[in-house]
């Protein structure tokens, strides 16, 4: 296979969502009778603009909860204490929602845009341009205030590492270019001052059969986690992959740039932090030998040296090779088991 492209199954799913965050300052709030009116009036203006620009799956989050976006054949939204989970199919689902509590003053208003259509990656730059037009127009009609918008563009590609073993032989090649360079080539100019990251998340379900077999070899729950960690590190070290993590504590892993954000965890999330400009090997492990979970997440974060034009293909081919080595070493059966690889790209800047 050419190292200039990553060949993935035709069944690969792509997704994109963009958020724009506006701090809810005293200066802004002073223009409304209360927070509830503020939320409703701003959301009304926002939805008018998104209708004009034909953006059909949009939301305003005014309760400081983290949006998590997932593919599903049915559309529904779930809220936890810290997160809002959006399940939808970009080809079929549209929605407009305002999430708020009339008695809660949010730290920020988050405007969320979920991509729709059937060719998400090819249309990503046009979607981003459309979002920026909406937000520029919204800022023009809102009461004047000095806070800039924080724009975040998230893109994801997901596929079964073992698709070929199950008979899905047809593939499609991606160059996986850096978002900034890809957008520039398509007429979408982003500010020169931006941050960008790319990473892979692989979730290994701990099925009853797998637990029984691995615990028979490892003897204890702690030994099972240590067994997985040792085999994972052996595989990634052989492929010279430097920034990796293992999360087996039942929390949702969130990858952050440690140069700008503090690490830690909440009741629901585990923050994984690496500085992409640092090429020194780093491994982070988050698991408790006294607590058995249903799945373990493995995170691989690209460093600055892992990117070279035309894209992340060489890196992703190394990642795939390491994951196949890991899967073989722990006895996964490609024809029977699914190991979903999720490749994420992220870019953020102030507008």
* Res. 20: pLDDT tops 90: yes
* Res. 145: pLDDT tops 90: no
Task: Give me 54's structure tokens.
Answer: 């034909």
Task: Give me 349's structure tokens.
Answer: 């800047």
In this structure, are residues 156 and 179 in contact, taking their beta carbons and an 8 Å threshold? no
Q: pLDDT at position 339, please?
A: 95
Per the listing, tokens 């088991």 go with 337
- β-pairing verdict for 66-71 and 83-88: parallel
Per the listing, tokens 């190292």 go with 3
Rama region for 327: left / alpha / beta (φ>0; ψ in -120 to 50; rest)? alpha
Mean per-residue pLDDT for 67-92? 96
Instruction: Tell me whether the omega of the peptide bond preceding residue 310 falls within 30 degrees of 0, making it cis.
Output: yes
Is the whole-model pTM more than 0.75?
A: yes
Residues paired with 252 in a beta bridge: 269
More confident site: 15 or 214: 15
Q: What's the number of CA atoms in the CB half-sphere (13 Å) around residue 314?
A: 10
Q: pLDDT at position 215, please?
A: 84
Residues paired with 287 in a beta bridge: 248
Q: pLDDT at position 4, please?
A: 84
**What residues does CATH 3.30.70.260 cover in the chain?**
13-174
Mean per-residue pLDDT for 298-313? 94
Q: What pLDDT band is residue 176 in, cutting at 50, 70 and 90?
A: very high
Which of 166-175, 205-214, 257-266, 325-334 shows the highest mean pLDDT? 325-334
Q: pLDDT at position 100, please?
A: 97
In this structure, are residues 112 and 58 in contact, taking their beta carbons and an 8 Å threshold? yes
Q: pLDDT at position 319, please?
A: 98
Instruction: Mark 216-244 as b/e (b = at least 16 C-beta within 10 Å).
Output: eebeebeebbebbbebbbebbeebebbbb
- Does residue 5 sit in helix, strand or coil? coil
Fold of 13-174: Alpha-Beta Plaits (3.30.70)
Handedness of CA 54, 57, 63, 66 (dihedral sign): negative
Q: pLDDT at position 258, please?
A: 86
From first CA to last CA, the distance across the chain in angstroms is 40
Reference 183, options 155, 205, 159; nearest CA is 155
Fold of 196-350: Alpha-Beta Plaits (3.30.70)
DSSP conformation letters of 283-335: EEEEE-TT---SEEEEEEE--GGG-BTTBSHHHHHHHHHHHHHHHHHTT--TT
Please work out, in degrees rounded to the nearest 5, the angle formed at the alpha carbon of residue 275 by the alpha carbons of 274 and 277: 145
Mean per-residue pLDDT for 80-85? 97
What mean pLDDT value characterizes the chain?
A: 94
Mean per-residue pLDDT for 31-53? 97
Q: pLDDT at position 1, please?
A: 46
Q: pLDDT at position 134, please?
A: 98
CA dist., res. 91 & res. 93, Å (int): 6
* Res. 248: pLDDT tops 60: yes
More confident site: 118 or 21: 21
Per the listing, tokens 């520029």 go with 136
Quick one: what percent of the chain has pLDDT higher than 90? 87
Mean per-residue pLDDT for 172-183? 94
* Res. 92: pLDDT tops 60: yes
DSSP for residue 189: P
Q: pLDDT at position 185, please?
A: 94
Q: pLDDT at position 36, please?
A: 97
Cα 348 to Cα 59, 144, 153, 230, 279, distances in angstroms? 19, 23, 6, 34, 21
Q: pLDDT at position 2, please?
A: 53
* Res. 263: pLDDT tops 90: no
């Amino acid at each position: 296979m050419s190292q200039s492209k990553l060949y993935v199954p035709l069944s690969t799913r792509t997704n994109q969502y963009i958020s724009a965050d506006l701090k809810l300052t005293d200066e802004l709030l002073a223009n409304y009778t209360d927070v509830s009116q503020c939320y409703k009036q701003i959301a009304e203006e926002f939805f008018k603009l998104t209708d004009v620009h034909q953006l059909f799956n949009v939301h305003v989050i005014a309760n400081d909860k983290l949006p998590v976006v997932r593919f599903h054949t049915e559309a529904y939204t779930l809220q936890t204490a810290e997160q809002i989970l959006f399940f939808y199919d970009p080809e079929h689902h549209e929605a407009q929602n305002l999430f708020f509590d009339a008695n809660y003053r949010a730290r920020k208003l988050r405007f969320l845009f979920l991509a729709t259509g059937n060719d998400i990656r090819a249309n990503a730059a046009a979607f981003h341009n459309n979002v920026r037009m909406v937000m520029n127009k919204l800022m023009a009609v809102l009461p004047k205030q000095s806070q800039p918008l924080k724009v975040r563009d998230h893109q994801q590609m997901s596929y079964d590492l073992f698709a070929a073993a199950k008979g899905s032989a047809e593939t499609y090649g991606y160059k996986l270019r850096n978002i900034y360079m890809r957008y520039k080539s398509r007429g979408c100019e982003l500010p020169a001052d931006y941050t960008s990251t790319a990473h892979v998340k692989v979730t290994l379900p701990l099925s009853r059969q797998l637990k029984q077999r691995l615990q028979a070899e490892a003897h204890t729950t702690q030994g099972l986690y240590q067994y997985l960690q040792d085999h994972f590190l052996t595989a990634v070290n052989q492929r010279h992959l430097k920034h990796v993590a293992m999360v087996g504590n039942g929390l949702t892993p969130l990858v952050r740039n440690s140069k700008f954000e503090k690490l830690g965890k909440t009741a629901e999330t585990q923050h994984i932090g690496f500085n992409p400009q640092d090429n020194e090997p780093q491994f982070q492990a988050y698991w408790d030998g006294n607590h058995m979970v249903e799945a373990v997440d493995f995170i691989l974060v690209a460093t600055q040296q892992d990117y070279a034009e035309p894209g992340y293909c060489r890196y992703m081919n190394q990642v795939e090779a390491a994951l196949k080595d890991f899967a073989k070493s722990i006895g996964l059966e490609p024809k029977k088991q699914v190991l979903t690889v999720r490749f994420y790209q992220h870019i953020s800047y102030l507008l």
